[in-house]
Amino acid sequence: MALMIQNEKPYIGIVGCSYSNWKEGNCLGKSYPALIAKDYQNYNVIDLTYSGSSNDSAYFRLWTFEQYYNIKFSKVIFQITHIGRLLEFLDWKFSNFNIFEKNEFTGNYFYCNDIKKPLGYANISIATKRKWIVELRERFVKVFGLKKDDTVIRYYILKLGFDEMLWKLQKEINLINGVYGVNNVLLFSWKILKFNDNIKNLQLPSNYWTSVEELFGNDKFYELGVDALPHYGEKGHAEFYKELKIKLKKWL
């Protein structure tokens, strides 16, 4: 369905992975992006989170949404995900954004109703579903005439462990801060940022807040999960939002 936005309100864009999304915890309208919309009716809250998304796809989602709907985000919340994820896409269609819907309970919360492929590109992850890499290989074989073997899979398994992924995250942070302004961007991660010994080279700016894991402590962080990863349901999102709301009072 087409998205009807109240254009007189400023826009908050929220990018993140399944940790910030409502799908895994089955809590549509109760995830922290929706709770932000409920408390801040003077903003249009655009939930650009979805399962498996990578850090280097964050600005792509923000910019493409802006172009398609002819809007500009005033504020951005960027939930940093696992570093070993990568954006790859072979087609780019603005029309993929027409699957966004308006939440009837808050009126100013807009979310994607097709969590699998909302933007027409594939994110692949060393930590999650191998089948994504297999599907990507099939497309590469067709488009580039590659042999149908495991070369592509082996390439990505190695690539996702390289320090290049640290740079991709650094670049995405710098880019989003540069476009929207440090004072208009709030950064946090779900888990404590870990990668390899070179993680210390990552320069987190002043608008990086914390990780949820550090915020709650290890025991509470996992106890609130609906699974072992942990994804959060209504209760977990509500607990996180209590802490986030303190930041938002000063920020919004």
Is CATH 3.40.190.10 what the domain over 11-123+165-251 is classified as, yes or no?
Answer: no
Predicted confidence at residue 112, as pLDDT, reads: 80
Predicted confidence at residue 13, as pLDDT, reads: 97
Domain ranges in the chain are 11-123+165-251
Parts of the chain with a pLDDT under 70: 1-7, 90-99, 105, 114-132
Burial 203-227 (b: 16+ CB within 10 A, else e): eeeebbbebbbeebeeeebeebbbe
Tokens of 88: 């790859």
Pair 18, 82: CB distance under 8 Å: no
Cα–Cα distance for residue pair 173/55, rounded to 1 Å: 9
Predicted confidence at residue 138, as pLDDT, reads: 80
Pair 62, 72: CB distance under 8 Å: no
Cα–Cα distance for residue pair 241/35, rounded to 1 Å: 7
In 50-171, DSSP assigns E strands to: 73-80, 85-88, 100-102, 109-112, 122-125
Predicted confidence at residue 231, as pLDDT, reads: 98
